[in-house]
Structure 1
Amino acid sequence: MEKTPSPTVVFITGAFVHHSCWDDWKTYFESKGYPTIAPPWPHKAASAETLRMSHPNKDIAANRLPAITDHYDSIVRQLPGKPILIGHSIGGLIVQLLLQRGLGSAGVAIHSAPPQGIFTFRFSFLKAGWGPLGFFTSTRQSFLMSFTQWKYAFTNRMDCEAQKEAYYRFAIPESKLIVRDTITKAARVHFENPHAPLLLISGSDDHTIPASLNYANYRKYKKSNSITDYATFPGRNHFVLGQPTWKEDAGYILDWLNKLP
């Protein structure tokens, strides 16, 4: 009997980082028999270095959450069968938004940006988010994290040389508007509605999206009567996809997927 092909895994990138942050994850999942794609956001198909040199980039600055969500919606609908959706940060939020549209056979939200209505006054969250929100600056210009901001928001507690390598490999300009969109109805999730299986993952050392936000996100789904699971890992910061522990996290996700009914 011919084996049923595995569903495609769609990796959805978050803000501020290049889509090549998924390269190792793609190789790992493909070695386990899953076809994968990691499509870039609109206006971000060039290399990280090229995108940094384009800053301030008016096209990137114009990106909005509804358009990015629709961008991935269109990609997913063109695939044969329902894919597995795996997203990081705002990419995790997009996973949640796509699942409520009935897209995806399962979803994994890694350190997901919180949907509308979930907030914290934790200092690290406010400090990490202040610059990207770009208050009192033009929204017609993109935002590019300085290395100092990157060290706090993404790679805290990592060796300085590793922080520098990560910055030059992955940091790219971002839209200030898309960050602001996460607190509007564009980021509204109807938590009570049934949905495909969803796993939310958090990290103990994440300054940008503290674990408490991910747990609050998870708790909102308690009335959905759908599979919703939560896991937290020690020592993970917001650069979780590129930390030395990434394969442990990817393996946990794969085990979770394999256990689904």
Structure 2
Amino acid sequence: MSDNRPPVVFIHGLWLHATSWQPWIDHFDAAGYSAVAPGWPHEPDTVEGAREHPEAVADTTIDQATEHFASIIAGLDATPVIIGHSFGGLITEKLLGQGIGRAGVAIDPAQIKGVLPLPLAQLRAGLPALGNPANLHRAVTLTEQEFRFGFGNALTEQESAGIYRRWVVPAPARPLFQAAAANFVLHSQAQVDTRRADRGPLLLISGTADHTVPDVVTRSTLKQYRDSTAVTEFTQFEGRGHSLTVDSGWRDVADVVLDWLHTHGI
């Protein structure tokens, strides 16, 4: 029997495993959707496997990840909503700009080409990968302290540590280098077609306390869409950091996304 529920594809960013979306999958399934959260190319199926084999994801590029998810989406029975966090948000924007997806939600999306603000907090959050040029072709693991600064700064130390132990995995550093150099590269893989008028609606979400993708970066991303007549909307979560999809307040974010989808008849 075919599943007539609207499909949703969740795309995680760097340093969180695909299984970190499981509470969202359950929540969206209960709301009448059919949700999945595929991993990045070659990502092991479990957190333990990903930690044991960091080489599996090393050197993955933005385009390779985007093509991977495009292939998965092409195999679905219906056009999905795409929801991404961090670099998953950037990939969501790229896919939507390619005409893939019924609608997109980019939560704390990594900066795309054309976005100029580079706050000090964002520089510090990226240092574990960007601080060593030799990391370009490696997978990098955050320490618990680095995770707390980049993701869990708006949480208690105990909650941040709990998320770290449950879901944090090594991540390819190459997408960070690509995004950091985007405005100096003619054909950057961090480039998004922000002018497209026939794409589905897009919601950008930021946390005002985010260190990894500061609010000013997401607001600058919104401005990149000023020449498109397609629906592009923006909402903020006051006092929330980069952990907002996996911390104890995740349901508040998920419900805003569901309400937005319902508002647009999706």
For the aligned pair, the TM-score class normalised by the smaller chain equals over 0.9
Match in the other structure for 1:205: 209
Q: Does 1:148 align with 2:145?
A: yes
Match in the other structure for 1:238: 242
Deviates more, 1:36-45 or 1:63-72: 36-45
The partner residue of 2:61 within 53, 61, 64 is 64
**DSSP 3-state at the match of 1:139:** helix
Deviates more, 1:206-215 or 1:237-246: 237-246
Match in the other structure for 1:42: 41
Say if 2:118 and 2:217, in contact at 8 Å, map to a contact too: no
Q: Does 1:187 align with 2:190?
A: yes
**DSSP 3-state at the match of 1:61:** coil
Structure 2 counterparts to residues 242-253 of structure 1, below 5 A:
242-253=246-257
The partner residue of 1:110 within 107, 112, 121 is 107
Match in the other structure for 2:231: 227
Q: Which runs of 5+ in 1 are unaligned?
A: none
The Cα of 1:6 is off from its aligned counterpart by 3.2
Say if 1:236 and 1:243, in contact at 8 Å, map to a contact too: no
Q: In 2, distance between residues paired with 1:83 and 1:130?
A: 35
In angstroms, what is the RMSD of aligned CA positions? 1.5
Structure 2 counterparts to residues 124-163 of structure 1, below 5 A:
124-163=121-160
The Cα of 1:191 is off from its aligned counterpart by 1.5
Q: In 2, distance between residues paired with 1:103 and 1:121?
A: 29
- Letter of the aligned partner of 1:171 in structure 2? V
**TM-score (norm: length of structure 2):** 0.92
Match in the other structure for 2:185: none
Structure 2 counterparts to residues 87-102 of structure 1, below 5 A:
87-102=84-99
Q: In 1, distance between residues paired with 2:67 and 2:218?
A: 24
Q: In 1, distance between residues paired with 2:55 and 2:39?
A: 17
Structure 2 counterparts to residues 24-35 of structure 1, below 5 A:
24-35=23-34
Q: Does 1:214 align with 2:218?
A: yes
Q: In 2, distance between residues paired with 1:258 and 1:186?
A: 32
The Cα of 1:46 is off from its aligned counterpart by 3.1
Q: In 2, distance between residues paired with 1:5 and 1:117?
A: 39
The partner residue of 1:257 within 247, 253, 261 is 261
Deviates more, 1:150-159 or 1:126-135: 126-135
- Residues 1:192 and 1:151: Cα distance change in structure 2 (over 3 Å): same
Say if 1:58 and 1:140, in contact at 8 Å, map to a contact too: no
**DSSP 3-state at the match of 1:207:** coil
Q: In 2, distance between residues paired with 1:140 and 1:220?
A: 30
Say if 1:196 and 1:226, in contact at 8 Å, map to a contact too: yes
- Letter of the aligned partner of 1:36 in structure 2? A
- Letter of the aligned partner of 1:193 in structure 2? R
* 1:166-218: CA deviation from partner (whole Å, max 9, x where unpaired): 11111111111121122431011122221210000000110000011111111
The Cα of 1:154 is off from its aligned counterpart by 0.6
**DSSP 3-state at the match of 2:105:** strand
Q: In 1, distance between residues paired with 2:193 and 2:138?
A: 32
Q: Which runs of 5+ in 2 are unaligned?
A: 183-187
The Cα of 1:134 is off from its aligned counterpart by 4.4
Say if 2:98 and 2:193, in contact at 8 Å, map to a contact too: no
**DSSP 3-state at the match of 2:140:** coil
Deviates more, 1:188-197 or 1:25-34: 188-197
Q: Does 1:74 align with 2:71?
A: yes
